[in-house]
Structure formats: C-alpha cells, structure tokens
C-alpha cells in the first residue's frame, strides 16, 4: 500500500548535487516539496528543473524547499545541470538526489508501473513542518507538471492550517474562501465580524483572512 495523506514522510539519507543529506534534517522546520523525474538528459525533465529553479524565490516566501529524485547518478545530474542552465536560463539551485539503487524511489513508490522500465514517474509530495505528507500528485511521463499549482496548494494548506476556512475550486491567494462547515454561525461571527455571503447554510463565502 502506498503512502497516504497524513502519513509521516519516510526519512532517508542520500547523495545529492549539494552533498550527502539526511532528508528530515534537510527539511528542518519548514515545508518541503519532494519530486521525482524519469531521467536526466530528457526534454520534459529539463524544462521542469528549470521551472523549479526559477521559482526558488516563491518557494522561499512560503518557507518551502524543493528537492528532486531520479535513478540517475549525481555525476550525471551535475553534467545535465549545464544543459539546464544553457536551455532554461537559470542555474541549478536545488538538490538532485542520485538514486541509482532506487532506495528513495521505492520508499516513495515512484517507479513507473507497467512501463517495462525502472525509471520514476513525475511524483510530487508536499510535506509540512511536522514531516506529514499533505498533498500528492502523480503525472505521466509525457506531461510536464504545473508548478504554479504546487505553490497554490501550499498557499491553501498554510492558510487553512491557521484559519477555520477551506479554499474553493480554482482559488488563488487573495480570493474569497469558505468558512469551515464545522464552524457554527455564532462562532463564525466572532472570527468574521464583517460578515459573509451565505450561498447555502453550508457554503459561506468570506474574504480571505490576512
């Protein structure tokens, strides 16, 4: 059975392009985004690493760090980094894990099923400061990830962890949110004294808390 939301993210030690790390120590008390890519020197993966590198400031704003796993070696990662910088216009600024023995890939069930090879799929795990898995996504090899969506989910998780709200479909930071259905109207008045827009008794829209 694979990892589920709320499970503790398994710890591991691994060699990376930034040296040997203990995953939980590397995460520290911040948020983490653990991703896998199928292989070095491949087109979609090159654009994905570039996209992640360009968003480093956005991850930093959220107290989050990204790390990427593949079954290629650290030596290959470092050679590939030159292609990433040349084609994507940004240098490598996140660790790439060398997982040639597939220890991490198997720990997180990242190996592509029914494809006749041992490369990883495009998995994403968002991990909170308590080392709990809060979101998972799995993309096929042919489809590059939407990294703005990953940031959006982190925004939602950080907001809803601190306020009694949930976020609606297609929500973006700053949009109206939903008052938690578990909150009575009387309790909601204390938290949202400016009121809300009640579409139904269970769908109460309110301005996003600051």
What residues are labeled active site? 45
Q: Is residue 153 within 8 Å of residue 58, measured between CB atoms?
A: no
What is the C-alpha to C-alpha distance for residues 62 and 155, in angstroms, rounded to an integer? 8
Strand partners, 111: 120
Strand partners, 178: 166, 205
Q: Which of 153, 180, 176, 155 shows the shortest CA–CA distance to 166?
A: 180
Under 8 Å CB-to-CB from 140, ≥6 apart: which residues?
Answer: 121, 122
Phi-psi region of 116 (alpha: psi -120 to 50; beta: other; left: phi over 0): left
The tokens for 192 are 């949202």
E-assigned strand segments in the chain: 13-16, 19-22, 31-36, 64-70, 96-98, 122-127, 133-139, 165-166, 177-179, 197-200, 203-206
């Amino acid at each position: 059975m694979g990892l589920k939301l709320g499970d503790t993210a398994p710890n591991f030690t691994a060699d990376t392009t930034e040296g040997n790390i203990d995953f939980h120590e590397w995460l520290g008390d911040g948020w983490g985004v653990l991703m896998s890519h199928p292989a070095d020197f491949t087109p979609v993966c090159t654009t994905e690493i570039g996209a992640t590198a360009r968003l480093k400031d956005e991850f930093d704003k959220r107290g989050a760090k990204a790390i990427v796993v593949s079954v290629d070696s650290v030596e290959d990662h470092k050679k590939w980094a030159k292609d990433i910088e040349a084609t994507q216009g940004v240098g490598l600024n996140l660790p790439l894990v060398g997982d040639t023995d597939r220890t991490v890939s198997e720990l997180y069930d990242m190996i592509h099923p029914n494809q006749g090879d041992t490369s990883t799929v495009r998995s994403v795990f968002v991990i909170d400061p308590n080392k709990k898995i809060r979101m998972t996504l799995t993309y096929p090899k042919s489809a590059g990830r939407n990294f703005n969506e990953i940031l959006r989910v982190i925004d939602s998780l950080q907001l809803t962890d601190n306020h009694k709200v949930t976020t609606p479909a297609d929500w973006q930071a700053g949009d109206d949110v939903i008052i938690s259905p578990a909150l009575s109207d009387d309790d909601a008045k204390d938290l949202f004294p400016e009121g809300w827009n009640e579409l139904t008794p269970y769908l109460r829209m309110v301005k996003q808390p600051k």
